Amino acid sequence: MKIPDIYVIVMAGGGGTRFWPWSREKRPKQVLPILSPRTMIRETVDRVRSLVPPEKVLIVTSRSQARQLRREVPEIPPANLLLEPEGKNTAPCLGLAAVHVQRANPNALMIVLPADHYIGAPEIFLRTLRRAAEFASRENYLLTLGITPTGPETGYGYIQKGPVLARVRGTDVFSAKAFREKPTLQKARAYLRRGDFLWNSGMFVWRLGVFLEALETYLPQLYRDMQEVKASLGKQDERKVLEKVYSRCPSISIDYGVMEKAPNVALIEARFGWSDVGSWNALWNLWPKDPSGNVCIPGERKGESGVLALESSGCLIRGERSLIAVLGLKDVVVVEAGDALLVCPRDRSQDVRRVLQQLKERGPRQYL
For 226-242, the DSSP string reads: HHHHHHHTTSTTHHHHH
pTM of the prediction?
0.93
Measure CA of the first residue to CA of the last residue in the chain; give whole Å.
50
State the burial class of residue 51 (Cβ atoms within 10 Å of its Cβ: 0-12, 13-18, 19+). Answer: middle
Can you give the pLDDT at residue 323? 86
Domain with CATH 3.90.550.10 in the chain: 6-278
**Mind listing the pLDDT tens digit of every residue in the chain (368 residues)?**
567 799 999 999 876 677 899 988 878 889 999 888 899 999 999 999 999 999 999 999 998 889 999 999 999 999 999 999 999 999 999 999 999 999 999 999 999 999 999 999 999 999 999 999 999 999 999 999 999 998 888 888 999 999 999 999 999 999 999 998 888 999 999 999 999 999 999 999 999 999 999 999 999 999 999 999 999 999 999 999 999 999 999 999 999 999 999 999 999 999 999 998 888 999 999 999 999 999 998 776 555 458 889 999 999 999 888 889 999 999 999 999 888 999 999 999 888 888 888 888 887 888 88
CATH fold, domain 6-278, is Spore Coat Polysaccharide Biosynthesis Protein SpsA; Chain A (3.90.550)
List of residues 6+ apart from 224 with CB closer than 8 A:
none
Q: Compute φ and ψ for 325, nearest 5 degrees.
A: -115, 125
Q: How far apart are the C-alpha atoms of 345 and 174, rounded to whole Å?
A: 39
Q: How far apart are the C-alpha atoms of 307 and 252, rounded to whole Å?
A: 41
